[in-house]
Amino acid sequence: MMEEESRSYQCPACTGPLRYDGATGRLVCDYCDSSFEPRDLEQEPREAEDFPPTVDDTVENAWSPQEADALQQYHCPACGALLACDETTVATSCPYCGNPLVLEGKLKGGLRPELILPFRLDKEQAKAALRQHYKKKALLPRAFQEENHLEELKGVYVPFWLYDCRLWGRANYQAKRLRSWREGDYRVTETQHYLIRREGTMEFSSVPVDGSRKMPDALMDAIEPFDYGGLRPFSNSYLPGFLAEVYDVDRGEAAQRMEQRVRASLQRELRRSVIGYEAVVPSGQQQRLLSQRAHYALLPVWLLSTRWRGQTYLFAMNGQTGRLIGDLPCDWRRYWAYFAGCSGLFGALILALWQLL
């Protein structure tokens, strides 16, 4: 287990911990209500104090070698507690004193993000969005809304790869055009057969692919899109008060998901360009990525988890747009009640029409 450098942003007025406030875009102190521009507090981190170790390293079997490799330890600059984090965590808070911590040692070299999209929505808005998410769901168990309690709510800067790319594609299609006219007592139908060729390019900008294995891809995809107009050059000062991760899916691996998506878009656009035919069947296609560039960015996501009847339900909210996604349980008794009711209603309606028309 390695011990690394951590930093907390402290209020210059009262030395209380600062946190980033998405609504104002400033670092605020909850103790003296002071607020500061993030850039004003950008400074070299102070020297880590030489805290004595608080755990006995000689204790046998405290961590397995694999666990020890994956965990790193930090000292909270506020209370001195020794904290352990996994290798991808770069911002967290002290569980003893609540002091927000930024583990700056991990944000160096290739792991330092180029861009960051600051949080615009706060915790209360995330809770409100979750309550709204429960509404107008006929099959959501009532008990779920009443009994389940928010187990965890955390703002996380999730590592994303944003790809700019240019894709070339060619596609061939077999197409038919029909013409029909009358000759005496006969209807003549002429079928014209065509070979269709299309070739073109498409450019994509900032296609996001999450770079964290911990984050479910379906949740991260579904909270898109982000408004990239709010992207800023990365600064540690946006991190206090939130959790943050560094990527553990590298740009090469993430590029495969990006390619699947852009290829599907190009394929559909090429097909859409074939118009005026009654039948179109693809007969071959080629695609090639002409250029590709990846940016490493941290994007804001509120993660909410609730627990109901022994099962955890995870929700993600876009910290910028407020789009909240998450699967909900189904009340099967109500499902079958609806099924029976609708069957009877539709059946009676069809029977009445059957008799009348």
Partner 1 sequence: MKKVLLSVFSLALCLLPLWSLGAQAEESKGSVYDWAGLLTMEENQALNRQAQALEERYGCGVYILTTQSLEGKSPWQFHEELYGQLDLGAGEERSGVSLLLSMEERDYDLLAYGWGNTVFTDYGKELLSEEFLDDFGEDDYDQGFRDYLAGCEELLEQASLGTPVDVGYRRPRSFLAGLGISALGGVLGALGVCTALKGQLKSAKIKQEADDYCQGGLNLNLRQDLFLRASRSRTKVQQASSSGSGHSGGTRVNAGGFSHRSGKF
Interface positions, 153-192, toward partner 1 (CB under 8 A): 170, 175, 182-183, 185-192
Cα–Cα dist 161/166, whole Å: 16
Quick one: which of 198, 253, 282, 322 contacts partner 1 (CB under 8 A)? 198
Site for partner 1 in 95-154 (CB under 8 A): 136-140
Cα–Cα dist 244/14, whole Å: 26
Q: Which is nearer to partner 1, 32 or 290 (CB)?
A: 290
Q: Which is nearer to partner 1, 1 or 328 (CB)?
A: 328
Quick one: which of 32, 143, 264, 281 contacts partner 1 (CB under 8 A)? 264
Q: Which stretch binds partner 1 (CB under 8 A): 25-33, 68-76, 103-111, 347-355?
A: 347-355
Chain center to CA of 253? 17
Per-residue x/- track, 206-245, partner 1 (CB under 8 A): xxx-------xxxx-xx-xx--------------------
Cα–Cα dist 325/317, whole Å: 6
Q: Which two tokens stand for residue 337?
A: 């009640």
Per-residue x/- track, 281-320, partner 1 (CB under 8 A): ----------------------------------------
Site for partner 1 in 326-345 (CB under 8 A): 326-330, 335, 338-345
Q: Which is nearer to partner 1, 73 or 265 (CB)?
A: 265
Q: State the minimum distance, in angstroms, from the CB of residue 22 to partner 1.
A: 23
Q: State the minimum distance, in angstroms, from the CB of residue 151 to partner 1.
A: 18
* CB contact set of 18 (below 8 Å; sequence gap of 6+): 9, 10, 11, 27, 28, 29, 36, 41, 100, 240, 241
Quick one: which of 142, 214, 268, 288 contacts partner 1 (CB under 8 A)? 268
Q: State the minimum distance, in angstroms, from the CB of residue 260 to partner 1.
A: 7
Q: Is residue 225 reached through a cis peptide bond, with omega within 30 degrees of 0 on the bond before it?
A: yes
Quick one: which of 3, 30, 45, 204 contacts partner 1 (CB under 8 A)? 204
Cβ-contact 316, 154 below 8 angstroms:
no
Q: Which is nearer to partner 1, 74 or 173 (CB)?
A: 173
Give me the half-sphere count of Cα atoms (radius 13 Å) on the Cβ side of residue 67. Answer: 5
The helix or strand, by DSSP H or E, that contains position 147, with its residue range, turns out to be helix 142-147
Beta pairing, strands 243-245 & 115-116: unpaired
Cβ-contact 211, 154 below 8 angstroms:
no
Q: Which stretch binds partner 1 (CB under 8 A): 3-11, 29-37, 94-102, 268-276?
A: 268-276
Q: Which is nearer to partner 1, 25 or 282 (CB)?
A: 282
Q: Which is nearer to partner 1, 103 or 297 (CB)?
A: 297
Cα–Cα dist 130/14, whole Å: 35
Longest dimension (CA), the chain: 104
Q: What is the DSSP letter of 193?
A: E
Cα–Cα dist 6/25, whole Å: 23
Length of the chain: 357
Q: Which is nearer to partner 1, 39 or 272 (CB)?
A: 272
Quick one: which of 29, 262, 294, 297 contacts partner 1 (CB under 8 A)? 262
